[in-house]
Every structure is written in C-alpha cells, then in structure tokens.
Amino acid sequence: MPIKSILKLEIERVSILDEHGNYDEKLGAGLIPDADLVKLYEAMSSCRYLDEVAFKLQRSGRMGTYPQNMGQEATSLGAAYVLNKDDWMVTCYRENCGLFWRGVPMESILLHWMGDERGNAMPRPHFATPIAVPIGTQMLHAAGLAWASKYRGEKQIACTFFGDGATSEGDFHEAANFAANLDLPVVFCCQNNFWAISVPGKIQCSAPTVAQRGIAYGMPCIQVDGNDIFACVYAVKAAAHRARTESRPTFIEMVTYRLGDHTTADDARRYRDQAEVDVWKLRDPLLRTRKFLERQKCWDSSKEEVMMKRIEIEVNAAVTRAEEIAAPPITDAFNYTFAELPADLAQQRDSMQTHSLASEATVTSTAASPGAGGH
Amino acid sequence: MSTAAGQGTAAGQGTAAGREIEFRDAVREAMCEEMRRDKRVMLIGEEVAQYNGAYKVSKGMLEEFGARRVIDTPISESGFAGMAIGAAMMGLRPIVEFMSWSFSLVAADPILNNAPKMLYMSGGQFGCPIVFRGNDGAGGQLGSTHSWSIEGLFSNVPGMKMVIPSNPYDAKGLMKTAIRDDDPVFFLESERVLSMKGEVPEGEYLIPFGQARIARAGSDCTIVAFGRMVHLALDAAAELEKQGIFCEILDMRTIRPLDAGAIVRSVKRTGACVVVDQSWSFGSPGSEVAALVHRECFDDLDNYVHRVHSADVPAPYAQQLEQQYLPNARRICEAVRSCLYRA
C-alpha cells in the first residue's frame, strides 16, 4: 500500500503596510479610519517617549529595572484597538502601548516599575491583569478568565501577550491545549521579537515559524508583521470575532523586534549585531505609520512638533504624579497577604511597625537606591 | 494523674448523627453541599468526572452537576492550576483536585508563586479563593516520587492556608470552610485514611480554621499531631497508658493557621511535648511547633520537644522499608518515654 500524506499544513502571513510604504488597499479597506490612525500614531509616540524617560529614570536611580517597549508598540496597540472595553487584556511586561490605549494611567505602570505593588492594581474598569514577570504564567490565567467568562455566560474574551521565549515554557502548551480542548475564547498574541534576553529565537524554536506551534493544538494560526499596525488589527479582529462568535481560540505570531535592551539590567550590544538592529530600525512601526499618514495628508512636521510638546508635558506630569505617591507602608504587605489578616500576622505587622519607626533613618537611606538586578 | 479520657469530641461541634460514612464520602458531601448552594464553585482535575476520581472522592458528582461544573482535564497540573487562578480572578471559586499532591510539584509556579501572592501583587485587587486538594503522604508503596508529604515543603509559603483532617467528621466541616474561604486553601487527604469510617451528620456544619481538637485528654505529655499521624498517636497513647503514661493528643486540623494557643495551654499543663509529623524534619511543621513550644513554654518544660518524623531519605518503595521510614506507634512511644525520662 502506498504511503499517503494525511495532513498538509500552511501558515498565512499578513502584511498590509510594509516598511517600504507599500499598502494593501484591499486588506486595509475600512480597517482603521485615518482619524483613528492619527490617534494610534500618537499613542505609539507617547509610549516611545515614556520609554526614553523611564530609561533615564532608571539610570538616575529613580526607578527599578525597566523593560523598554521600543519597537513593539504596534502589537499590543493593535489588539487594544480591536478589543471591547470589558475584554480581558492579560499581559506580560512589554504591552504598555495597549494598556495606555485602554486607559490604564501612565503613572500606574511607572509606579509598578518604581517598585510599588499598587501600580499593578490597574483600575478595574480596564480589565487588565497585573503585569506578569515570570515567563508564561499569564497565558494560563487568560485561559482561566476565558473559561470563567464562558461558564458565566458572559461575552468577555481574553487576549494574552507573551514572547517567543515563553512558547518554550510548558505553561504555553498547557494553556493552548486547554483553550482548544475546552473551546475557550482566548486570543494568544505571541510577540516574536527574536530575542529572549540574550538567547536568539533559533534556540527557542527549530520550526520555521512560531505560529505553527498553535497548529499542534488544533487552533487557527496566523503570522503577521507585528510592526504593521494594520496587520495586527486585522489579525486580532478576526481572532476576536472567532472567540466571540464561535468561542474558539486563535494563535497569532506577531513578528516584531525589540529595539532596546531586554531590560535596563542588560546591554543588548553585548549579544547581538548592530547591523541586525539597524535593519529593524528601518522597520520601526512608528516610522512607517507616520509616513503613511503624511501620504494621506493627515500628518506633517508641524503636527509632529505640537504632538511631541504635548506628549512631553503629559509624560512628565505622569512621572511627577507617580513620584509624588508616598512609598507604600510595610503594613500593605501584611494587609494584602490574606483576605482577612490572621492574628499572628497582625502581631508581626505591629512589631515591624514599631521597629521601622525606631530605625527610620536607616530605612530611608536604603530605600534611596532601587535595586538594579534583573530577573 | 489523669483518667485517660476516650476520644474527645470536636470543640463544641455537634455529633451523634449516628450515620457513619467514609472519609472520601465526607469530602464529597462537603463539595456537593457547597456546589448546591454556590454556583461559583466547580471541580476540575484529572479523572474527576467520568471516572469519579482516582480515589473515588468525586463519585457521582458528574451526574449531579454535569460536565460544565465537574471537569475532566488533560494530564496538565500546571495548566488547570493556572487556569483556576484566572477563573478565580473572574469571581469563580474552583476546587482543583490533584490526583496526588506529589503531582502538584509540576504546578509549583501557579500554586506557590501565583495563587498565594496574587492578592498582594495586584495591590489588593485579586484574591484567589481556590481549594487545591488531593491525596498526600506515603504508606501505599507508591515509590519515592509519588509519596510526598508536601506539608513540610509548602507550608513555608505565606498567603495560603493548609488543612490536614484526620477523620471524616472534620473532613466535611473543614472542606466546607475551605470552599467558603477567600484565600487559596491546600487541603491534604491522606490516602491511608480515605476509607476510614466515622460519624458525620447529614446537616450543615462548618469547622473554623485554626482550632485544634483534643483527640485524647491526658496529663503527662502533649502529643501534637495532624492528619493520619493522629491515629498513630492514639495507638501509641493506648500502649503508653498500660505503662501508666497518660498522653494528651492535639489534632491540629489546620497547619496554617496553627492553633498555637491550644498547644501552649496543653504543654503548660503537661510540661512535656512530642510532635509527630510525617514530613521530613528539616524546616517542617514539626520544627515550627518545636520552636513555638520552646519559646512560649520554656519554663514549663521538663525536657526539650521530641520530634517524630519520616526518616531523612527518599520514601522507600519496599513495603517493609516504607513502614520503618514513616513515623509509627513504636517510635512515638519511644519519643514520649524519652521525653519523660522513662526510656
């Protein structure tokens, strides 16, 4: 008996606005009105500026370890643009742009990286979960949120973000398997930025695409140019529709690039070629969006100048607000460990308060130098 | 000296319903009662639905509650433990069954690194009212990897509660409390006691956390135990009574919170303390109890706190070796006599 091929698989790649300015009229039709694109461009610019400010804050000892978002702004923003206000956005730590678009205050994110857990208490109406720094845990939380939403008969879906490195974690595979098996409304957005700190993508995945990892779990998969806001919106829109109407998950590989270091705790120049970075600088999502808007006569250098002035004021005001918030008291750690504080813990809390009052001078001097360690 | 009382009853709890059921039935009854009263509660785990659970704890639950609330999963402990966290963040109250707590080790990230910290790390926004439950402890000749007593390792983590019932009555009352608790609760069921029968009222009752039970009253030596170890301590106490030694046995019921007051009150009366804990000795509930008693009862003690643990080696597979490895009545008797200078 002849050996037969029983399965052939293919992965589609979507690119609507490429780095040369080529624009696919057909795919892009009606996707993002020009007026919205202006706002999206402004959001990316604002996020980029915040990155620069945060980097300087860390270098001058005013902020802890910070992961820059530079180069990856379009991915989470594209998703946030598509999602409903009450859909869950389940992120790791390079999705500032999408979170800000949903209205998460800039000072929340700043406060978090300044080392304050209260920054993670995103105002509830934003349906954002705490920033997940361990790699991959949040994908399971997204599956659980979607599961609960389905169980309760609600319309919310969950959109989760993670990197190419996270797809090597068991948590990814377990979350993908569950989402597909239980038919959960989850959108898995993998930001393939080619580098897991210093480890190149080739070591994470020997297959030609990360997208095909989703095929193994029986869910639709697609690869998009992650620096193309149109392509990101296109893919998430289809995935969100599928989640909402068919209660099925989708895996989207968003090919992007981390233009900065992994965090302020490493120096990417030590492990990757500048030539590679230079190529990706030309593919910057901000650059191509701006050129497109200029071609559409929606943008020019004077508008750019006005916007940058406004952003500068807004970001600096957010920094001031974040820095004005007094350091959390040690009692917070105790009060938020259990729903109700047990008596023995209350005792520990009270003894620590007495202790820290007595040695206030020492506490203040150590608090002045935030740790520079990575994770 | 004391007249050794028989098995004391629970602190102020009603008894004598007359009906005797197995430990596993008591756990199930608690889960079913809670699932009837609260739609947010569901059960998820490997083989919990179609197969009624590897240890038949969830027998019949699929039939009553349907596949929406009693959910079979792939072999994916980290997966369903992590999902339960997401579900809890959206207001559900999942019960997660680990076929064995030994298998929960692959889910360490969600159960130790996420669930007990989520409330704090979200600035007080998201609690995790989840019950993680399953079979714990050695004694079934399951080999080293399947014979964990995880209480030693896991009770070290702040932000979660740990329940280790010794009998069917407590199992029901404590499980109901666990399901209604707003924090993550680790509920440990010893495989060796699952078939044990005991009186369990049909009606509703809850046993609060952090309240030990005097399993046997006595005046010579306090034995602190929990879970299956309570039964070994009772056997030892019966043997010691023949030698004129009257032990008081405290069944702690919950390790976190720990009823420190009950331990201190008893030791202040007896002046001697032996702790029995089936986990390894280093950094364990047993060492915590010893530290507590030495701190709070220093002047009342006639000897240091004696501890009976499993041997500090991997759990042996061979039956005879496993029995020697675990605490047993003989070793408890020796510890009590040594503690009372009557060895």
Give residue-wise pLDDT tens across range B173-202: 999 999 999 999 999 999 899 999 999 999
Helix (H) or strand (E) holding A305: helix A301-324
**DSSP-H helix ranges across chain B:** 23-37, 61-65, 77-89, 108, 118-121, 151-154, 168-180, 229-242, 260-270, 285-296, 319-325, 329-339
Instruction: Please give the residue of chain A at the shortest CA–CA distance from B129.
Output: A339
Count of alpha carbons within 13 angstroms of residue A201, beta-carbon side: 17
Residue B25 has pLDDT above 90, yes or no: yes
| Pairing state between β A195-196 and A186-192 | unpaired
Residue B2 lies in a domain: no
Q: In sequence order, what are the beta bridge partners of B37?
A: none
Q: Are residues B181 and B251 in the same domain?
A: no
Q: What is the C-alpha to C-alpha distance for residues B26 and B193, in angstroms, rounded to an integer? A: 12
Please provide the average confidence, as pLDDT, over all residues in chain B.
94
**Burial environment of residue B49 by CB neighbours within 10 A (0 to 12, 13 to 18, 19 or more):** buried
Q: Are residues B220 and B187 in the same domain?
A: no
3-state secondary structure of B273: strand
Give residue-wise pLDDT tens across range B253-284: 999 999 999 999 999 999 999 999 999 999 99
Nearest to A117 among B88, B123, B181 (CB): B123
Q: How far is CA A255 from CA A167, A284, B54, in A?
A: 14, 12, 44
Q: What is the C-alpha to C-alpha distance for residues B134 and B98, in angstroms, rounded to an integer? A: 5
Question: Is B153 within 8 Å of B160 (Cβ atoms)?
Answer: no
Total structural domains in chain B?
2
User: Tokens representing A23?
Assistant: 């624009």
| Catalytic residue of the set A94, A258, A283, A290 | A258
Low-confidence ranges of chain A (pLDDT < 50): 360-375
Q: Are residues B109 and B224 in the same domain?
A: no
- Can you give the residue range of the structural domain that contains B302? 213-339
Confidence of residue B138 (pLDDT cuts 50, 70, 90): confident
Residues of A in contact with B89 (CB under 8 A): 129, 141, 144-145, 148
**pLDDT recorded at residue A370:** 40
Catalytic status, residue A262: yes
Give me the CATH code for the A12-324 domain, please: 3.40.50.970
Confidence of residue B9 (pLDDT cuts 50, 70, 90): very low
Q: Are residues B25 and B162 in the same domain?
A: yes
CB atoms within 10 A of CB A341: 16
Q: Are residues B266 and B329 in the same domain?
A: yes
Residue B17 has pLDDT above 70, yes or no: no
Count of alpha carbons within 13 angstroms of residue A305, beta-carbon side: 3
Q: Do A144 and B210 touch (CB under 8 A)?
A: no
Residues of B in contact with A337 (CB under 8 A): 116, 119-120, 158-159
**pLDDT recorded at residue B10:** 43
Q: Name the residue ranges covered by the structural domains of chain A.
A: 12-324, 333-368
Q: What is the C-alpha to C-alpha distance for residues B194 and B21, in angstroms, rounded to an integer? A: 10
CA of B21 vs chain A CAs: smallest distance (Å) = 33
Residue B163 lies in a domain: yes
Tell me which residue of A373, A375, A322 sits closest to A62, measured CA to CA: A322
Question: Is A304 within 8 Å of A290 (Cβ atoms)?
Answer: yes
| Catalytic residue of the set B29, B146, B231, B288 | B146
Residues of A in contact with B130 (CB under 8 A): none
Question: Is B171 within 8 Å of B198 (Cβ atoms)?
Answer: no
**Burial environment of residue B335 by CB neighbours within 10 A (0 to 12, 13 to 18, 19 or more):** buried
Give residue-wise pLDDT tens across range A1-21: 999 999 999 999 999 999 999
**pLDDT recorded at residue B115:** 97
Mean pLDDT, range B221-233, rounded to an integer? 98
Residue B9 lies in a domain: no
Catalytic status, residue B248: no
Residue B14 lies in a domain: no
Chains A–B, number of C-beta pairs less than 8 Å apart: 140
Instruction: Please give the residue of chain B at the shortest CA–CA distance from A87.
Output: B90
Q: What is the C-alpha to C-alpha distance for residues A140 and A182, in angstroms, rounded to an integer? A: 13
Question: Is B75 within 8 Å of B66 (Cβ atoms)?
Answer: no
> Which CB contacts under 8 angstroms, 24+ apart, belong to A57-64?
A57/A110, A57/A114, A57/A319, A58/A113, A58/A264, A58/A372, A59/A264, A61/A368, A61/A369, A61/A370, A62/A114, A62/A323, A62/A370, A63/A110, A63/A113, A63/A114, A63/A370, A64/A113, A64/A114, A64/A115, A64/A370, A64/A371, A64/A372
CATH number of the domain where residue B326 is located: 3.40.50.920
User: Tokens representing B131?
Assistant: 């019950």
In B, residues 25-84, which contact A (CB 8 Å cutoff)?
Answer: 42, 68, 71, 73-74, 76, 78-84
User: Mutate which of B42, B80, B96, B125 to disrupt the A interface (most A C-beta within 10 Å)?
Assistant: B125
Q: What is the ipTM of this complex?
A: 0.86
Which residue has tokens 């000072």? Answer: A107
Q: Are residues B104 and B218 in the same domain?
A: no
User: Tokens representing A176?
Assistant: 């993908």
Instruction: Please give the residue of chain B at the shortest CA–CA distance from A338.
Output: B159
Instruction: Report the share of chain B in percent with pLDDT over 90.
Output: 92
User: Tokens representing A54?
Assistant: 């945060």
**Is B203 touching A (CB cutoff 8 A)?**
no
Q: Are residues B173 and B229 in the same domain?
A: no
Residues of B in contact with A120 (CB under 8 A): 121-123, 125
Give residue-wise pLDDT tens across range B85-129: 999 999 999 999 999 999 999 999 999 999 999 999 998 899 999
CA of A99 vs chain B CAs: smallest distance (Å) = 16
The residue among B148, B171, B200 that closes a domain is B200
Give residue-wise pLDDT tens across range B291-329: 999 999 999 999 999 999 999 999 999 999 999 999 999
Residue B318 lies in a domain: yes
Q: Are residues B100 and B189 in the same domain?
A: yes
Q: Are residues B87 and B181 in the same domain?
A: yes
**pLDDT recorded at residue B18:** 86
Q: How far is CA B180 from CA B1, B35, B114, B175, B295, in A?
A: 42, 11, 20, 9, 33
The residue among B170, B200, B230 that closes a domain is B200
Residue B11 lies in a domain: no
Q: What is the C-alpha to C-alpha distance for residues B306 and B225, in angstroms, rounded to an integer? A: 12
Q: Which residue has the higher pLDDT, A66 or B15?
A: A66
**Is B156 touching A (CB cutoff 8 A)?**
no
DSSP class per residue in B70-132 = EEE--S-HHHHHHHHHHHHHTT-EEEEEEEEGGGGGGGHIIIIIITTTHHHHTTT------EE
Please enumerate residues of A whose Cβ is less than 8 A from a Cβ of B.
88, 90, 117-122, 124, 129-130, 134, 137, 139-149, 151-152, 158, 170-171, 174-175, 177-178, 181-182, 332-333, 335-340, 342, 344
**pLDDT recorded at residue A123:** 75
Q: What is the C-alpha to C-alpha distance for residues B293 and B299, in angstroms, rounded to an integer? A: 10
CATH number of the domain where residue B183 is located: 3.40.50.970
The residue among B166, B200, B234 that closes a domain is B200
Residue B205 lies in a domain: no
A326, amino acid identity: A
Helix (H) or strand (E) holding A247: none
